[in-house]
Amino acid sequence: MATGEKRRTLESSYIGRDIFKNYWLGAHKWKQEGKLVAWCSGNVPVELVHANGVYPLYPESYSAMISAQKMAREKCEKTEAMGYSMDACSYFRVNLGMDHEDPRTLPFGGLPRPDLLLTTRLICMTQYKWWQVLSEMWDVPIHVVDAPFLEGDINPHQMDYFVSQLKGLVSFLERHTGKRMSEDRFMEVMTLSDRAAEVWYEVMDLRKSRPCPVATREMVGNVFPLVTLLGTQPTVDFFTALRDELREMARNGQGAIPNEKARLALDNIPPWHDLSFLTSVEERGAIFVIENYTCYAWGGRIDLSDPWRGYANKCLDIWPNYTIERRIQIYAEQAREYHLDGYIFHSNRSCKPLSTAQQEIQRNLLDRAGVPGILLEGDHADPRAFSATQAQAQIETFLEMLGL
Amino acid sequence: MGIFWDYVPEELLHAAGALPYRILGNTENVSEADRHMPTYVCTLMRSALDQALRGRYAFVDGLVVSPLWCEAMHPLWELWRIHAPIPWMEALDLPGSTEPTSRPYFARELARLKLALEELIGHEITPEALATSVQLYNEGRRLLKKLFHLRQDRVSLLSSADWAHVVLASMIMPKEEHNRLLAVLVEALEASPLDDGDASLRLHLTGTVLIDLNFAQVIDEVGASVTSDDLYTGTRWYWDMIDETVAPFEGITERYWTKLPCPARSMPKVRFNQMLDFIKLGRAQGVIFLTEKHCDPHIFEDPLLKTWLENMGIPCLQLETELALRAVGQVRTRVQTFVEMVRKGG
């Protein structure tokens, strides 16, 4: 997540930084005003939460920030001392480790306790169990947005089921707010979400430019409103400013780094505790230009002429729902479009849905598309599962192989 | 016909003329699968893939798995299909939600599976055939439950390891044959006198899976005995009956929808309450958790359940397993220490 003052190369990224800050602070204010705060696990359909006047808080993102601020290890250890395995997702271990801490010692005053717990089967089972544990511990109402498991295209019976699940979420929220979500408000958040996605895709397209105007390190921070604030105007404004700045740079042939020689892609959630490898490659003329984390998890166009089904399609169109074959094809195409020289796969112990097929993708990408890649062992939040020295050495060797 | 996980209705496969064979992995070291799957996936899935890659399941003509959203099942399914394809492979989508609003989706999935089986065999699976299979599998469950109850006062006659063996065999043997042998065992046990002051410490076994009988043997050897369980390879598999008074397909749907759930889809309290029922039935004095490494549903809820049980004064021991019992000596020492501690009253 976005941290530090001097790291950003784009002016517009500072708008993103402010959105980030206001989002965490805003939750406290919301709660103080007596309004409902919901803890949402990854990919809980955020637009619907906004539309119902409930504040959607994403603890996973907060754990990522804690990790980026080098505070994850102690939190993980606290959770492990409660009897939880080191194999449990580190986002969870970071989160639970803060449970009894003084919120004043935490960034933005910590996370306010939830009034509601919202989870989904969309991207992983882990968060679903994590939310259940919280629900039992704190006696907070929990709601699951179930989702069909896709293998290829969605069939009508899966579509009907998922639409009914989305509507079930709305009913649950309405029961707790005591207010009906208006059709106008629904259409408003859908329209804003679609608009944000449209601009976000333009941003992604601009990164195909040679030289690339912005690197992964900055974009994995800028993606934040796509996770938490879809369906709001500030997100559209921020992405528009970002697009305009990148468009200008691309037009002027201005790159994020001088003398770009090789272009890389990152697969999986970054190891937030140590993102140095994302920028250290730049000293040798290599740049990370794209990552699946920002492309296939959040955001997507919505067919507004059929909004419920359109929205359902958007929610289901995510990396964990793609077959291995589809992932390979996407990467082969991405490699061409983004002029990639190689892939860095982060084998992330804490995220099985994004990690379990990596060996297969890596091998096929090389064999079938001639694009090489390496696998770095790590974890998205727990620094103990990642050896920076080893990762650095692997990357150096890889860059040498690419002729740098 | 290979089946993986406890939501695939055996009755349906049997009625189609198939022998349902439960995929349980194996205690051999995993080697081939490591090329395809990271080692932080549970050993059950790694082992199943490993065995498939080595051709050990070459005898199955078909495979049905469920649920794919178990995070390790999905890659297993895809990699199996890519690298060791079986002519006929189907996945059954099990809702993660246990709300009544999700039941029609599940029923629809079962109907889809039935249709796929009918296409495979070239004719309809008649309600009569289904009813016959339901009766057969219910008979197996009835016998296993009877064994469970009879054994409560005859622990000395059937060791924990032998008992587990009988249950495991029910997952792979032809049901007709297993039922016949099981009936003989049940009859023999019924005719035997009750334990006279058996001193074994009575334990409830919970967790993911037990296929390594050495572990049950360790429990027997340290003067304890397993009197109840809620394992995937135990009561979670056989406890719930199918209602034979309703249409067979409806009975099957209801049974698998409401059965003792996999913690991948139920709230921790649900399993906790079931555990308390079993602890009561087995008069267990302590609980051993066999938490399979990297099995997320258990990793998340087992510590919570352990705390709840301990708060009720029920002593617990949590062991991490990887299908096979590796450090036998160490496990024996831990179980022994636990047994002695429980005997001394904490």
pLDDT digits (tens, 9 = 90+) for A189-218: 999 999 999 999 999 999 999 999 999 999
- Write down the pLDDT at residue B68: 79
Shared-domain flag, residues B150 and B272? yes
Average model confidence (pLDDT) across chain A: 96
As given in the structure block, the two tokens for residue B258 are 């409401």
Shared-domain flag, residues B118 and B263? no
Distance CA A247, CA B342 (A): 71
Cα of B301 vs its chain's centroid, Å: 18
Question: Tell me, what amino acid is at B335?
Answer: V
Which residues are paired to A142 by β-bridges?
A: A117
pLDDT digits (tens, 9 = 90+) for B189-239: 999 999 988 789 999 999 989 999 999 999 999 999 999 999 999 999 999
Shared-domain flag, residues B173 and B82? no
More confident residue, B75 or A6: B75
Shared-domain flag, residues B118 and B248? no
Q: Among A166-170, A227-231, A314-318, B320-324, which is the least confidently predicted range?
A: B320-324
For B95, the domain range is 2-125
CA angle A315/A318/A324 to nearest 5° reads 150
Which residues are paired to B322 by β-bridges?
A: B324
pLDDT digits (tens, 9 = 90+) for A253-262: 999 999 999 9
pLDDT digits (tens, 9 = 90+) for B143-182: 999 999 999 999 999 999 999 999 999 999 999 999 999 9
- Who's near A188: CB < 8 A, 6+ residues apart? A51, A231
Confidence band (pLDDT; 50, 70, 90) for A2? very low
As given in the structure block, the two tokens for residue A276 are 């140095």
> Which of A76, A123, A139, A161 to mutate: most B Cβ within 10 Å?
A161
CATH 3.40.50.11890 fits A13-179, yes or no: yes
Which domain CATH number covers B60?
3.40.50.11890
Average model confidence (pLDDT) across chain B: 95
Q: To the nearest whole angstrom, how far is the Cα of B70 from the nearest Cα of chain A?
A: 7
Is the peptide bond preceding residue B193 cis, with omega within 30 degrees of 0?
no
Q: To the nearest whole angstrom, how far is the Cα of B267 from the nearest Cα of chain A?
A: 6
- Write down the pLDDT at residue A313: 96
Shared-domain flag, residues B69 and B30? yes
> Of B94, B125, B156, at which residue does a domain stop?
B125
Rounded to whole angstroms, what are the CA distances from A78 to A85, A97, A131, A257, B303? 11, 5, 18, 41, 14
CA angle A371/A372/A377 to nearest 5° reads 135
- A172 touching B (Cβ < 8 Å): no
A4 pLDDT above the threshold of 60? no
Shared-domain flag, residues B81 and B184? no
Total structural domains in chain B? 2
> Of B97, B125, B153, at which residue does a domain stop?
B125
Write the ipTM: 0.94
- Write down the pLDDT at residue B346: 60
Shared-domain flag, residues B237 and B96? no
Q: To the nearest whole angstrom, how far is the Cα of B227 from the nearest Cα of chain A?
A: 26
List phi, psi (to 5°) of B322: -135, 65
- Write down the pLDDT at residue A265: 98
| Nearest-by-Cβ selection for A324 from B78, B263, B307 | B78
List phi, psi (to 5°) of A375: -110, 120
Which domain CATH number covers B257?
3.40.50.11900
Distance CA A10, CA A8 (A): 6
- Write down the pLDDT at residue B240: 98
Place of tokens 């006659």: B157
CB contact under 8 A, A358 and B35: no
Shared-domain flag, residues B119 and B140? no
- What mean pLDDT do residues B25-50 have? 94
pLDDT digits (tens, 9 = 90+) for B280-328: 999 999 999 999 999 999 999 999 999 999 999 999 999 999 998 888 8
Sort residue A11 into left (φ over 0), alpha (ψ -120 to 50) or beta: alpha
Shared-domain flag, residues B140 and B107? no
Spell out which residues of chain B touch residue A168, defining contact as CB-CB under 8 Å.
Answer: 99, 101
| CB burial of residue A192 (10 Å; 0-12, 13-18, 19+) | buried
- Write down the pLDDT at residue A151: 80
| Nearest-by-Cβ selection for A360 from B79, B108, B299 | B79
Shared-domain flag, residues B38 and B138? no
Residues making up chain A, counted from first to last: 404
B86 pLDDT above the threshold of 70? yes
Confidence band (pLDDT; 50, 70, 90) for A7? low
A395 pLDDT above the threshold of 90? yes
- Write down the pLDDT at residue B72: 82
Q: What is the pTM of this model?
A: 0.96
> Of B64, B92, B125, at which residue does a domain stop?
B125
As given in the structure block, the two tokens for residue A331 are 């990467």
Shared-domain flag, residues B121 and B159? no
